[in-house]
Copies of this chain bind each other. A is one copy, B any other.
Amino acid sequence: MSVDGLATLRSAVPGKLSFLSNPRYVNQLADCKASAIILEPEFASACQSALLISSSPYVTYAKASQLFQPNRTSKSGIHPSANVHPSVVIGANVSIACNAVIDADAVIGDDCVIGAGCYIGERSRVGDNSILFANVSLYHDVVIGTNAIIHSSVVIGADGFGFAFDGRKAIKIAQLGGVTIGDNVEIGAGSTIDRGALDDTVVEDGVKIDNQVQIAHNCVIGAHTIVCGCSAIAGSTVIGKYCTIGGGVGVIGHLKIADKVMVSAMSLVSQSIHESGVYSSGTGLLESKEWKRNIVRFRQLDDMAKRLRELEKQTLGK
């Protein structure tokens, strides 16, 4: 038997491999048309298909999915329209697509793929087996580790947002640090990681960053942390390892976040978090009519609290 692709339990046809990772869908097993199914041993009897027994079906599905990834390297070699400075060091088996521009003294590791229209600045380095999709911009002195996946329109190494105000105008603080990104990091489309003011901005090994994330100068993102889409980390904040920053989260500057902290979507982290745990802010969604009544009261909340205290004194004598 061979399979030529993956599919969900519901949409699978013969020839496809499927998986059960969420027990909620166990009732879809009986009718599933997949040629084979990845599942935990306890569900094996619910199913007629060939089975791939796994103690972690979602991890097994992830590994299987990679077998079906279309080759993204297109053709190997340096396209004649690419502009590569003669001083650039290029590893073995590298593909550099049309109109990519690589400036002086950059280093591109073995097996890298540089997409169309990418720009790589002076002295920047891309580790082995990394892929930059089309129209990525790396400024100068940006170091990226091995096995990186950098999606289109990402910008790494733009100036951090630093100014000194002289009473009349903002005076630019030159951003003299760089950016250092570890191994096995993925960075989603349109994300931006600024260079440091004096020292480097750092993204450690195994960090996964979704689309349109902003990481300001001198942040440190700890190893294996996940940053979901549209989050923004302000300058000099240090985030621990194995954290999960939900989508649309804001973290203000100069904070320290412990390891294994989870922040729920669209929360504002306005102070350091010293203990692992789950954190949230916001009011939850309401129908606007009801919401308006309640936010009027939110503005009276301090007053309400004082009146409540007064009533307690009067009534309960305490």
B-contacting residues of A (Cβ < 8 Å)?
5-8, 11, 56, 58-59, 61-63, 65-66, 68-70, 74, 79, 81, 83, 97-99, 101, 103, 115-117, 119, 121-122, 133-135, 137, 139-140, 149, 151-153, 155, 158-159, 161-166, 168-174, 176, 184, 186, 188-190, 192, 194, 197-199, 206, 208, 210-212, 214, 216, 224, 226, 228-230, 232, 234, 247-248, 250, 252, 263-271, 277-302, 304-305, 307-308, 311-312, 314-316
Take A117-B101, A119-B152, A211-B158 as given contacts and tell me if A265 and B311 are in contact as well, using a CB distance cutoff of 8 Å. Answer: no
Q: What are 25 contact pairs spanning A and B, CB under 8 A? A: A59-B164, A62-B174, A65-B174, A79-B83, A115-B119, A135-B155, A155-B189, A159-B186, A190-B192, A190-B214, A194-B211, A232-B247, A265-B270, A279-B287, A279-B291, A281-B286, A290-B302, A293-B302, A301-B301, A307-B308, A307-B312, A311-B311, A311-B315, A314-B315, A314-B316
Q: Is the CB of A250 within 8 A of B248?
A: yes
Complex CA distance for A101 and B59, rounded to whole angstroms: 36
Q: Is the CB of A212 within 8 A of B192?
A: yes
**Set B62, B135, B166, B281: member contacting A135, Cβ < 8 A:** B135
Complex CA distance for A59 and B139, rounded to whole angstroms: 26
Q: Separation in Å of the A111 CB from the closest CB of chain B?
A: 17
Q: Is the CB of B293 within 8 A of A304?
A: no
**Set B99, B168, B226, B298: member contacting A294, Cβ < 8 A:** B298
Q: Separation in Å of the A130 CB from the closest CB of chain B?
A: 14
Q: Is the CB of B297 within 8 A of A286?
A: no
CB neighbours (8 Å) of A119 from chain B are 115-117, 134-135, 152
CB neighbours (8 Å) of A163 from chain B are 62, 208, 226
Take A210-B161, A230-B250 as given contacts and tell me if A299 and B288 are in contact as well, using a CB distance cutoff of 8 Å. Answer: no
CB neighbours (8 Å) of A164 from chain B are 56, 58-59, 61-62
Complex CA distance for A171 and B61, rounded to whole angstroms: 10
**Set B58, B83, B264: member contacting A99, Cβ < 8 A:** B83
Complex CA distance for A152 and B279, rounded to whole angstroms: 34
Q: Is the CB of B137 within 8 A of A135?
A: yes
Q: Is the CB of A151 within 8 A of B159?
A: yes
Q: Is the CB of A269 within 8 A of B294?
A: no
Q: Is the CB of A176 within 8 A of B314?
A: no
Take A56-B166, A158-B188, A250-B266 as given contacts and tell me if A286 and B291 are in contact as well, using a CB distance cutoff of 8 Å. Answer: no
Q: Separation in Å of the A221 CB from the closest CB of chain B?
A: 13
Q: Separation in Å of the A125 CB from the closest CB of chain B?
A: 16
Q: Is the CB of B265 within 8 A of A170?
A: no
**Set B83, B170, B285: member contacting A280, Cβ < 8 A:** B285
The residue in chain B whose Cβ has the minimal distance to the Cβ of A289 is B278
Q: Separation in Å of the A178 CB from the closest CB of chain B?
A: 11
CB neighbours (8 Å) of A174 from chain B are 62, 65-66, 68-69
CB neighbours (8 Å) of A297 from chain B are 301-302, 304-305
Q: Is the CB of B228 within 8 A of A248?
A: no
